[in-house]
């Protein structure tokens, strides 16, 4: 699109297809989309595309073998093989063909070289979703996009759907399909007054967005308020066991499907940070989720029910309450009670998207419930798209984690993977151009959770930047690859988290949440720091894990260094498994983190001239802010712990 960054779909990525001869077999809207993509590439690069039975020869055949099942696109799997000078992609439905097309794009010329045997690709999960925390009406505190760092909303502006700009939404759907995402929730989980009405009299605006996303196989979901029967329906209650409430949800859902026949379903944040929920009626969260699930079931829709339920008005003086325990304590007793089309959406860690958390013990503990795992692509706690922080390695660690002997998190997430989107109406989509890598990586990991994130990064670089520049490729890799660990180094140490400015969450404030009602403490005193979550002497959180993790985390001696302060309160002189004391580790990592940002900035400077100048300049400008902020983190954290501990830096560096 004019004036909008092409991200990982620059025209050039279509040259290998666009210079060749392609045959497309099959019909249906998504096959039309595939045809349109190939035709546009051919128009640009001189190739040729035919449909159905036209005689050959062809370099590429894209064919749907089954009857495409309506707008839904049918199966998402595809096969690819090459022989006799022809590459063949086969799918049982239009969606699969679309994914196959983008697979060929990713392969580039290699797709057309030599011969290779039949390979099947299918997504690990049927649901690969982005949640947009976009407000329709600008919120006085949270703005147009809650926790958004990429301008305004792609979907909403000035209180309503962007009518004339839905072309941008279509382009967004195209990018998402090209990395494997197939579902989008178009409004904030905190549902305010204007947004509530998207469910009823404003459903037409949702339908318009759905229409723009549909050609790329993206289904549209809606965040709704649990109180909708009251605030929209005029009922005296939202009790999920009340017959009138059930009937109201049934009726309203039927009308939603009239407007959006392939509607994906509802997302609900209930009894969480002030949102209404079933607790008000003495009902369980399964009761709450199931009334919506029942309404959606006839149409094949799902309800995503968020497990982010905790006491956000905790008294910091109360050491017995541990926010980390909350999701497990609330939901594990409900295992088996959720309807089949109710998906419990669990944040990957027990707290809230800190730079380092253990994996939520809920995952694996509810075998009779479909769980979706929620990630956060928007960098609320990881630099807010002013800092480079590629989250691929973190997400991959989470997805490969095995809660007990057996399945990994990626395998246990039968309800799919969800990320909070990092996209807005910014020309670079994500504010920081390199944050596009997070969106891309999430999509590819959602498709295949055991994929090697380093290979995804390489793929993203090859697609997004002109391929064949080894120095550019290497430079980008250097800047991105270790950026999450760099960010971790200069922020909160050893898994303890928080230490951010309250409210907006940007920049350091070591005690910012220490005496707050949010349940987010580090308990630093003159002797030590950390939260004792052991069973023996702490909150018992470590006991929520299955073996071996319950034992690994329980003991200071076996707990991994990077999570030590999440699980234990230790003295500053405690010696880590790394051989360093906690206090020296804090000092060292904070100095190193800043040095690594300085080094990355220098690498970036060297890449000027190897890419679009606007893209280079935007990143260069953000590096200045990242460096300023990283130094601020370093100095505040080091000063704070030096003032508390009185222990001097072993290397005599400057601590203020």
Q: Which residues bind a second copy (CB under 8 A)?
A: 140, 316-317, 508-512, 515, 524-527, 632, 635-636, 639-640, 642-646, 656
Which of 312, 248, 306 has its CA nearest to residue 278? 306
- Residue 352 among the catalytic residues: yes
Tally of residues, the chain: 656
Encode 48-69 in three state secondary structure. Answer: EEEECCCCCCCCEEEEECCCCC
Encode 517-549 in three state secondary structure. Answer: CCCCCCCCCCCEECCCCCCCCCCCHHHHCCCCH
Rank residues 120 and 318 by Cβ distance to a second copy and give the closer one.
318
Q: In angstroms, give the least distance from the CB of 148 to a second copy.
A: 18
The CA-based angle 460-466-469, given to 5 degrees, is: 100
CB-based contact 273:227 (threshold 8 Å) = no
Encode 123-134 in three state secondary structure. Answer: CCCCCEEEECCE
Q: In angstroms, give the least distance from the CB of 316 to a second copy.
A: 8
Which of 361, 584, 614 has its CA nearest to residue 494? 584
Select which of 273, 318, 527, 621 is catalytic: 273
Rank residues 524 and 600 by Cβ distance to a second copy and give the closer one.
524
Rank residues 159 and 298 by Cβ distance to a second copy and give the closer one.
159
* Positive/negative CA dihedral, 21, 24, 30, 33: positive
Rank residues 317 and 368 by Cβ distance to a second copy and give the closer one.
317
By CB atoms closer than 10 A (0-12, 13-18, 19+), residue 19 is middle
- Residue 621 among the catalytic residues: no
Which of 131, 232, 233 has its CA nearest to residue 190? 131
Q: In angstroms, give the least distance from the CB of 522 to a second copy.
A: 11
Contacts of 160 (CB under 8 A, 6+ apart): 136, 205
Q: Is 160 helix (H, G, I), strand (E, B) or coil?
A: strand
CB-based contact 479:599 (threshold 8 Å) = no
Rounded CA gap, 551 and 554, in Å? 5
Q: In angstroms, give the least distance from the CB of 643 to a second copy.
A: 4
Rank residues 526 and 651 by Cβ distance to a second copy and give the closer one.
526
Distances 243 to 158, 250, 295, 303 between C-alpha atoms, Å: 37, 10, 12, 19
Rounded CA gap, 263 and 186, in Å? 12
Q: In angstroms, give the least distance from the CB of 336 to a second copy.
A: 40
Rank residues 553 and 640 by Cβ distance to a second copy and give the closer one.
640
Q: End-to-end CA distance of the chain, in Å?
A: 49
Encode 97-112 in three state secondary structure. Answer: HHHHHHHHHHHHHHHH
Rank residues 79 and 321 by Cβ distance to a second copy and give the closer one.
321
* Positive/negative CA dihedral, 40, 41, 43, 44: positive
Rank residues 28 and 512 by Cβ distance to a second copy and give the closer one.
512
Q: In angstroms, give the least distance from the CB of 503 to a second copy.
A: 8
Rank residues 577 and 643 by Cβ distance to a second copy and give the closer one.
643
Select which of 131, 352, 374, 532 is catalytic: 352
Q: In angstroms, give the least distance from the CB of 471 to a second copy.
A: 37
Q: In angstroms, give the least distance from the CB of 337 to a second copy.
A: 38
Q: In angstroms, give the least distance from the CB of 512 to a second copy.
A: 8
- Residue 273 among the catalytic residues: yes
Pairing of strands 78-83, 86-91: antiparallel
Residue 355 phi, psi (nearest 5): -65, -25
Select which of 380, 425, 426, 596 is catalytic: 380
- Active site members: 273, 352, 380
């Amino acid at each position: 699109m004019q004036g909008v960054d092409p991200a990982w779909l620059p025209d050039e990525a279509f040259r290998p297809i666009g210079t060749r001869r392609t045959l497309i077999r099959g019909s249906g809207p998504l096959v039309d989309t595939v045809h349109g993509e190939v035709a546009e590439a051919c128009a640009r690069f001189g190739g040729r595309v035919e449909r159905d039975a036209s005689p050959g020869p062809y370099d590429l055949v894209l064919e749907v073998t089954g009857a495409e099942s309506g707008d839904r696109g049918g199966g998402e799997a595809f096969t690819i093989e090459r022989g006799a000078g022809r590459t063949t992609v086969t799918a049982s439905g239009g969606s699969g063909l679309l994914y196959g097309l983008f697979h060929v794009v990713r392969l580039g010329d290699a797709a057309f070289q030599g011969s290779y045997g039949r390979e099947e690709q299918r997504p690990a999960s049927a649901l690969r979703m982005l949640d947009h925390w976009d407000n329709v009406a600008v919120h006085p505190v949270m703005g147009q996009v809650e926790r958004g760092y990429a301008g305004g909303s792609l979907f909403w502006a000035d209180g309503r759907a962007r009518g004339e700009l839905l072309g941008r939404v279509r382009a967004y759907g195209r990018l998402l399909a090209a990395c494997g995402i197939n579902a989008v929730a178009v409004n904030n989980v905190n549902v305010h007054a204007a947004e509530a009405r998207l469910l009823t009299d404003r459903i037409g605006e949702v339908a318009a967005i759905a229409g723009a996303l549909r050609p790329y196989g993206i289904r549209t979901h809606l965040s709704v308020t649990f109180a909708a029967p009251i605030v929209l329906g005029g009922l005296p209650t939202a009790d999920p066991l009340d017959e009138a409430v059930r009937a109201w949800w049934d009726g309203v859902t039927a009308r939603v499907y009239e407007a959006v026949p392939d509607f994906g379903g509802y997302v609900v944040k209930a009894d969480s940070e002030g949102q209404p929920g079933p607790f008000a009626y003495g009902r369980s969260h399964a009761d709450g989720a199931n009334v919506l699930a029942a309404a959606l079931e006839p149409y094949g829709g799902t309800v995503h029910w968020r497990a982010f339920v905790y006491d956000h008005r905790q008294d910091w003086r109360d050491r017995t309450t541990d926010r980390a325990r909350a999701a497990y304590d609330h939901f594990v007793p409900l295992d088996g009670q959720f309807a089949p089309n109710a998906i419990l959406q669990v944040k990957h860690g027990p707290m809230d998207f800190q730079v380092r958390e253990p994996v939520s013990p809920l995952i694996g503990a509810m075998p009779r419930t479909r769980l979706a795992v929620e990630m956060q692509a928007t960098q609320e706690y990881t630099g807010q798209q002013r800092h480079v922080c590629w989250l691929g390695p973190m997400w991959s660690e989470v997805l490969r984690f095995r809660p007990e002997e057996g399945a990994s998190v990626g395998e246990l997430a039968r309800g799919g993977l969800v990320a909070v989107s990092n996209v807005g109406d910014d020309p670079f989509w994500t504010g920081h151009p390199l944050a596009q890598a997070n969106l891309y990586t999430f999509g590819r990991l959602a498709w295949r959770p055991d994929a090697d994130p380093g290979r995804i990064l390489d793929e993203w670089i090859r697609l997004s930047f002109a391929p064949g520049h080894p120095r550019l490729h290497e430079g980008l890799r250097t800047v991105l690859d270790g950026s999450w660990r760099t960010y971790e180094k200069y922020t909160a140490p050893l898994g303890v988290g928080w230490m951010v400015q309250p409210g907006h969450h940007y920049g350091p404030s070591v005690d910012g949440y220490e005496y707050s009602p949010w349940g987010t403490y580090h308990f630093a005193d003159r002797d030590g720091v950390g939260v004792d979550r052991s069973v023996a002497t702490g909150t018992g959180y470590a006991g929520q894990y299955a073996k071996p993790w319950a034992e690994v985390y329980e003991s200071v001696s076996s707990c991994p260094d990077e999570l030590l302060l999440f699980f234990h309160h230790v003295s500053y002189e405690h010696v880590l498994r790394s051989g360093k004391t906690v206090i020296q580790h804090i000092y060292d990592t904070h100095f190193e983190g800043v040095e690594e940002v300085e080094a990355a900035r220098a690498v970036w400077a060297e890449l000027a001239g190897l890419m679009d100048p606007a893209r280079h300049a935007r990143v260069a400008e953000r590096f200045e802010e990242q460096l300023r902020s990283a130094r601020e983190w370093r100095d505040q954290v080091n000063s704070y712990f030096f003032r508390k501990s009185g222990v001097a830096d072993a290397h005599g560096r400057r601590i203020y």
